[in-house]
Structure 1
Amino acid sequence: MTDTRQTSTEKSLSKHPNTSNVTSTMDSSSPYFVHHSDQPGHVLVPTKLNGSNYPSWSKSMIHALTAKNKIGFINGSIEPPSETEHSTEYALWNQCNNMILSWFTHLVEPNLTKGVIHAKMARQVWEDFKDQFSQKNAPAIYQIQKSLASLSQCMMAVSAYFTKLKSLWDELDTYRSIPACNLMKAHIEQREEDRMMQFLMGLNDTYSGVRSNILMITPLPNVRQA
């Protein structure tokens, strides 16, 4: 079944025979540029989408597609050119679009591939996944917050305790929407203060003196400084 999908994609990518000649002389900063390592079966991220892992999967995909200068094909900033009026540009767009669709088929669990195979635009697949999975956040957020509330240093070294806290904070951030630019500074300051309090509350009592000293500092240092 996988071989069939690859063959279909390869046919689509070779539909316009001049495309490879154009991309070989194209500026590598162009979103239409296809590196020789960009193959239909290339696996961009280590984890496949299964639905429940959408926040972390989508963030990994954004990083990978941004690194390959293909993020515009899923965020709507690169629209398909007219096939009749701009045939050469359309051929380049179509090559990249189908390449991303092929990447998607290798980056989702088998029960989700049907929605990719029959799609015509990578952006539509991306939006469909977002609509389908991004709303199921409450149970995951609850579990992370519960883990944060119950986490304490106990027998761990301070560095190990901080690392475990940070992994939970980072995971929680994947479920949070990014605030508007004019609110970003206040958001970061409040987040850092909340994290500092969580960190201090979980420390063992042997650090009570250090904890009191840190709480007396104005302004409070961030967790890394503490």
Structure 2
Amino acid sequence: MDPSNPYYVHHSDQPGHILVPIKLNGANYQSWSKSMIHTLTAKNKIGFIDGSIEMPSETDQPAEFASWNQCNSMILSWLTHSVESDLAQGVIHAKTAQQIQKSIAIISQGTMFVASYFIKIKGLWDELEAHRTLITCNKMKTHLDQREEDKLMQFLMGLNESYKTVRSSILMMSPLPNVRQAYSLIIQEETQRQMASEPNESFSIAAAVQNRTTHAKFKDKICDH
């Protein structure tokens, strides 16, 4: 097969291959995703991620489907080996919807960052959706809205008790935010806490040095901005 073909698999490509030097832990998503995108682009496999390479029909295009399935499975394996075990194990061992439901019911933040916790529970939600039959009726929107509310409750209830105040505030909103909006609010709270707990000694030293420099240069002229 032509190496420029996205279905081409090099002899060095193995399921257990780790594509990037850092593993996704939830808090490092930006740097991890950029590294992963660069690597998959270099391997001509980014189309499997962004959706530009669609799954061919298994019945009408069996040969092409076999090639697509081989590449897709390889990429899934790469991704599984590129995330920390606590993010991967919740999905890769789940075989039935009942197992996934149980995992969702008992999941909690614990010692994880909020981002790690959200990625883990979202993986379970996505896996559960793959086991469900799509509803096609005039109550589809109501059904989807209920699922979204269920996800919101599952996410909020699994957070540590240190977030109970912001959790209560979110639940009092009308209308309720979706789970992604709630996640964004929780991340803002976590970021503010981290900033508040950081020592400001370096800032104080820098300000003192700047103040001395200003006075030395301008003497009696002081900026009050």
Q: TM-score range by the shorter chain?
A: 0.3 to 0.5
Q: Is the radius of gyration larger for structure 1 or structure 2? A: 2
TM-score w.r.t. the length of structure 1 is: 0.45
